[in-house]
Amino acid sequence: MDKLVIEGPARLKGEVTVSGSKNAVLPILAATLLTDEPCVIRKVPNLRDTNTMLKILRSLGKCAEFDKGTVSISSTGQAGFFADYKLVSTMRASFCVLGPILAKLKKAKVSLPGGCIIGVRPVDLHLKGIKALGAEISIESGYVLAKADRLKGNSVYLGGVYGSSVLATGNVMMAATLAKGRTLIEAAACEPEVADLAEFLIKMGAKIKGHGTPIIEIEGVKGLHGTEHTIIPDRIEAGTLMAAALITKGDILIKNVLCQHLGALIDKLEEAGACITKADSSVRVRLKSKLKAINVTTLPYPGFPTDMQAQIMSLMTVTPGISVITEKIYPDRFMHVSELNRMGAHIQREGPHAIVEGVKHLSGAPVMASDLRASACLVLAGLAAKGKSSISRIYHLERGYENIEDKLLGLGAKIYREKE
């Protein structure tokens, strides 16, 4: 396994371009299972997770070519309904093949994804929605078995104890596109990635309204056709790069950004002292004055994104004063706290809260990545810390950040890879 070595402190300056959104492209790739016709998807980031999803599509009878950011999907004529544990367990998002397989083939056998380091990650809302569409569901030896001669439109409330569910909304929306009649999803997730999935489905001939709002209406159709689509920019990568500009007291022009997807984050960064200049598809980020402590609570979109919680924590570790970060989506999403403290941060966890007391500077240290966004937060800390940091298990980082080393090198970071 590789590790990432970072010599800090750095001051990042220059221009960088954000890749396509991981969390938009994964369900959109799953949606190609709803048609036998070819689909072309552009601005697909070359990540572990996107390549895992392509492997799953190939195991389900798709031909999937990935060349310079463009994915071409076609059918081999042998559509499969079985999504194997070996693949699904490596990436939870693969569970969103359930809805499309069931809708297209009238039966599906998909491995339960299991939990991960950031939480238990149940799928009860996915199953509630699929059942509401008339599917017969059973759980056998860690697999979900689902069957339905023809799914029927229905109203279903998809809000859970932690609010809406992004992939459950996607799973049910995809299944409903081929159901007979009208489906109303209440307490639907409003994330831009859900809206991008709906746009893709509409291009395939689906009848969907209200995507991006808590009420999504789907009128079932007989079949869907192939289409072409360009993936929206990755708002979490953009947010991570914005935090990188601030934690290194740098000045970065970030291109391929939709600022309207980053409202909550921009609001909080400006409160923390950032000078953010927005343009149509880019944003310039630098420090206006000294960093100021802030309080952050993660919420479903348009609230502050949980996927930026670790990164904003890194920033707050070197911000004078006391910041309180409250995690409302995944209360256990704090594996990065102990690693940041090893670098000299002063963070105390109190249940779903992390109390961060800013320190003058972090010190480079060997640290270990535990999940995707925790690894990003350790990279940010390494860029700001005095001395050398080495981050092990960076396969976590490779799941969601395309060419991140090259992007940071291009901004002046001293970063390189070493064998573990």
Residues classed as catalytic: 116
- Tell which one of 329, 362, 369, 391 touches ligand EPZ (CB under 6 A): 329
Give one DSSP letter per residue of 123-165, joined into a string: -HHHHHHHHHTT-EEEEETTEEEEE-SS-B--EEE--BTTB--
**What minimum distance in Å lies between the beta carbon of 167 and ligand EPZ?**
3
Span interacting with ligand EPZ, options 3-11, 74-82, 122-130, 218-226, rule CB under 6 A: 122-130
d(CA 62, CA 36) in angstroms, rounded, equals: 9
- CA–CA dist 359, 356 (Å, integer): 9
Among residues 16, 44, 53, 166, the one that binds ligand EPZ under rule CB under 6 A: 166
Our finding on whether 125 is near ligand EPZ (CB under 6 A) is yes
Tell me: does residue 26 bind ligand EPZ (CB under 6 A). yes
20 lies in the binding site for ligand EPZ (CB under 6 A):
no
According to CB under 6 A, which residues from 52 to 111 bind ligand EPZ?
92-93
Which residues on neighbouring strands pair with residue 366, listed in sequence order? 390
Among 162, 256, 352, 359, binds ligand EPZ (CB under 6 A): 162
Q: Does the protein bind ligand EPZ through residue 165 (CB under 6 A)? A: yes
Of 10 and 133, nearer to ligand EPZ (C-beta) is 133
Pick one of 126, 211, 261, 407: the residue that binds ligand EPZ (CB under 6 A): 126
Alpha helices in 320-415 (DSSP H): 335-342, 372-384, 395-398, 404-409
Contact 126, 95 (CB under 8 A): yes
**Alpha helices for 139-291 (secondary structure H):** 166-176, 192-203, 235-247, 263-271
- What single-letter amino acid sits at 8? G
Rounded to a whole number of angstroms, the minimum distance from the CB of residue 205 to ligand EPZ is 24
How far apart CA 377 and CA 359 sit, in angstroms, is 16
> 133 or 365: whose CB is closer to ligand EPZ?
133
Of positions 23, 50, 314, 317, contacts ligand EPZ by CB under 6 A: 23
Which single residue is written with the structure tokens 């007979």?
A: 180
Task: Tell me whether strands 251-255 and 215-219 are parallel, antiparallel or unpaired.
Answer: unpaired
Calpha distance 216→41 (Å, rounded): 24
Beta-carbon count within 10 A of 292 CB: 15
Size of the site for ligand EPZ (CB under 6 A): 27
Which residue number, 330 or 334, has a Cβ lying nearer to ligand EPZ?
A: 330
384 binds ligand EPZ (CB under 6 A): no
Contacts of ligand EPZ in 286-315 (CB under 6 A):
306-307
The residue from 64, 97, 156, 168 that contacts ligand EPZ (CB under 6 A) is: 168
Residues between 386 and 415 that touch ligand EPZ (CB under 6 A): 400
First vs last C-alpha separation in the chain? 6
The CB-of-27 to ligand EPZ minimum distance in angstroms stands at: 7
CA distance 396 to 336: 13
| Residues forming the site for ligand EPZ (CB under 6 A) | 22-23, 26, 92-93, 119, 121-126, 160, 162, 165-168, 189, 193, 306-307, 329-330, 372-373, 400
